[in-house]
Amino acid sequence: MKNLWNDADAQKMVADYAKKGVGRDLALRVYTTRLLGGEPRLVLHGGGNTSCKTKATDLVGDEWDVLCVKGSGWDMAVIEPQGLPAVKMDALLKARRLEKLSDEDMVALQRSNLIDPASPNPSVETLLHAFLPHKFVDHTHSTAILAIVDQEDSRALVRTVFGDKMGYVPYIKPGFDLAKVAAEVFDADPSVEGLILDKHGIFTFGDDARQAYDRMIHYVNVAEDHVAKNGKPPAAKAALPARLAKPSDIAPTLRGAVAVSRGEGRFDRMISDFRTSDAIVDFINSAKIADYAGRGVSTPDLSIRIKTGPMAVPAPDADKLGDYKAVIRSRVRAFVKDYTAYFEANDALDDVKRTMLDPMPRLTLVPGLGMFGHGRTLKDARIASDVGEMWIEAVRGAEAIGNFHPLSKADLFPLEYWSLEQAKLASNKPKPLTGQVVLITGGAGAIGAATAKLFAANGAHAVIVDLDPAKAAEAAKAAGNSSIGVGADITNPAEMRAAFDKAVAVFGGVDILVSNAGAAWEGRIGELDDATLRKSFELNFFAHQSAAQNAVRIMQEQGTGGVLLFNTSKQAINPGPKFGAYGIPKAATLFLSRQYALDYGAYGIRSNAVNADRIRSGLLTDAMIASRSGARGVSEKEYMSGNLLGQEVTAEDVAQAFLHQALAERTTADVTTVDGGNIAAALR
């Protein structure tokens, strides 16, 4: 691993922060924390922390000795001084005299001694940093170090690899007890330059930021060199099918299998993030992959991301895809059974009240293809994949020099079910559509964009399909929540299919279709040329049918139901003069919606239509409003609010109706009217 310290960069950071009133100690603490945080082989998604002992002044001007230590929720790669809250040292040091300190009391002690009470919670490893005397302390979960400590006889190996310059700390759950034992190990030999924490990671320290950082990189290199010089070749590879299926062939089935059933056809779904590379596939193709996966996580805090470890499934044979669905479901059932047994056995050991987390895997390893990270949001799914890559690094190294032997699951349990983590999860309420994927055609138009925005605000990830890729991307950005834009001519079946493939590639599947794209052609029906009517049917009927066909194909693979929503317009009920080319295919689409409700209800797939009228959009532009209101001799405002309520109806009102239909879990074959009231167009 390369040492990235650069004097000029360090001095520049000191000078830049000095202008903002931040002292040299904290500026350099930020500098090397970012160097460590930028390297995934050291630090990943909150797994690691740093500190420095310095002085801070409170609001009344009193100066205190403080520990500035990484606050929870901050990413080390982009940390700022406020991500290293200052805690008064005196109180922290006094805590070492205590016999016992619960996790809750430890947090209370740390919070009540913050200089700024608005700071984030100081790291759970704060006391360990405080009890060591050095000015700068660095801590990482380096994959190279894990290869050494995740061995059965790790104590002897640590001695062989690092000599007596590093102290050895046996595994203890992070918190007060670990801090005390680590400090005792240091006190027994204060000449050490760092501590190796069994099954967990490494601490290094020094009198200045550079010394602590140099030592971290040095000892990580010692570990890397040991693995490189002593590594044996990897285990034999498993035989793969002659023809492998593609990731998109299995993604919806897998995504459906890991959804949590709430019973009665209701599900909490997850997003799947597919990740692959030569290194990933090479490792996952090992004949021993299921064995490795079953042994557990490489460092305990990964359990918050991937539970007790990954799930391995067999390689999918393209010629036997029909059977593969059952294989995936049986593997997920086995994972759930093991996880439930792990929870029940460990929960029974004391009287603490715990709620079992959902038992689904968060990382699936597929030989021949790569891996899928699963999470309630795309961000969580990607984090699971990131963690998977580092798990592979650590296991590969551990197996090269011995046998991967991580922390036992019994010892992992108190960390996964740490009371403070449980409280955090309980406060993290999902939104109504969290975990769901909505594909919206005509997604960059007024109604499509408003619908995407509303669905994204309610937790869904939107796939915005539009003829114009730039506008689709723009609407996706406006919708937020990691939504994506896809350019496609949806009257071309291959382009429609590609849009759904993209949804599967990015999110793992589709749960909601909003089939919204449409365009109007005018002309008296008796004189209309066939080509115009056929063109209208392509977009206003066949594109809806093609979208729905793709959606139900994916929904049936997922096996978790779904909903089709069609924009059918008032013309489907109440024709307007010279509007036949538009209204006739829309009437067919209204019945298309009912046909899907009838044919797919048994699969939990619902189908509804929204019947909207007079909305400002690409179909009813400001110029058209001016000309039509002028022709009728009314103002534009009167024209737009010419309904029973006397109010203009907006794209947001239509979006609200789609959302209602998506959320109403027992509503299918429904038509919802959004027109401010028009008796002639009212449904009977």
Nearer to Zn ion, 150 or 466 (CB): 150
- Segment near Zn ion (CB under 5 A); pick from 7-15, 201-209, 241-249, 434-442: 201-209
CB of 412 to Zn ion, least distance (A): 14
Residue nearest to Zn ion (CB): 201
Nearer to Zn ion, 203 or 339 (CB): 203
CB of 92 to Zn ion, least distance (A): 18
Q: How far apart are CA 542 and CA 56, in angstroms?
A: 69
Nearer to Zn ion, 179 or 371 (CB): 179
- Segment near Zn ion (CB under 5 A); pick from 87-95, 128-136, 193-201, 669-677: 193-201
Are β-strands 63-69 and 48-57 bridged in parallel, bridged antiparallel, or unpaired? Answer: antiparallel
- Segment near Zn ion (CB under 5 A); pick from 160-168, 197-205, 249-257, 451-459: 197-205
DSSP 399: H
Instruction: Return phi, psi of residue 390, to 5°.
Output: -75, -30
Nearer to Zn ion, 172 or 533 (CB): 172
CB of 372 to Zn ion, least distance (A): 27
- Segment near Zn ion (CB under 5 A); pick from 92-100, 200-208, 325-333, 339-347: 200-208
- Segment near Zn ion (CB under 5 A); pick from 194-202, 363-371, 506-514, 526-534: 194-202
Query: 98 by DSSP, 3-state: which?
Result: coil
CB of 134 to Zn ion, least distance (A): 17
CA neighbor of 610 nearest in space, from 383, 392, 433, 454:
454
CB of 201 to Zn ion, least distance (A): 5
CB of 397 to Zn ion, least distance (A): 18
Q: How far apart are CA 656 and CA 643, in angstroms?
A: 19
CA neighbor of 36 nearest in space, from 178, 113, 141, 154:
141
Strand order from edge to edge, sheet including 48-57: 86-88, 63-69, 48-57, 136-140, 201-206, 194-197, 166-169
Q: How far apart are CA 188 and CA 201, in angstroms?
A: 20
- Segment near Zn ion (CB under 5 A); pick from 6-14, 195-203, 441-449, 561-569: 195-203
Nearer to Zn ion, 37 or 201 (CB): 201
Nearer to Zn ion, 201 or 518 (CB): 201
Q: How far apart are CA 306 and CA 225, in angstroms?
A: 29
- Per-residue three-class SS string for 403-424: CCCCCCHHHHHHHHCCHHHHHH
Nearer to Zn ion, 128 or 564 (CB): 128
- Per-residue three-class SS string for 16-74: HHHHCCCCHHHHHHHHHHHHHHCCCCCCECCEEEEEEEEEEECCCCCEEEEEEECECCC
- Residue type for position 141: H
CB of 141 to Zn ion, least distance (A): 6
Q: How many residues bind Zn ion (CB under 5 A)?
A: 1
CB of 124 to Zn ion, least distance (A): 8
Q: How far apart are CA 305 and CA 425, in angstroms?
A: 12
Residue whose pair of structure tokens reads 């959302």 in the numeric block? 659
Nearer to Zn ion, 201 or 397 (CB): 201
Nearer to Zn ion, 201 or 361 (CB): 201
CB of 300 to Zn ion, least distance (A): 8
- Segment near Zn ion (CB under 5 A); pick from 149-157, 199-207, 253-261, 499-507: 199-207
Contact residues toward Zn ion (CB under 5 A) are: 201
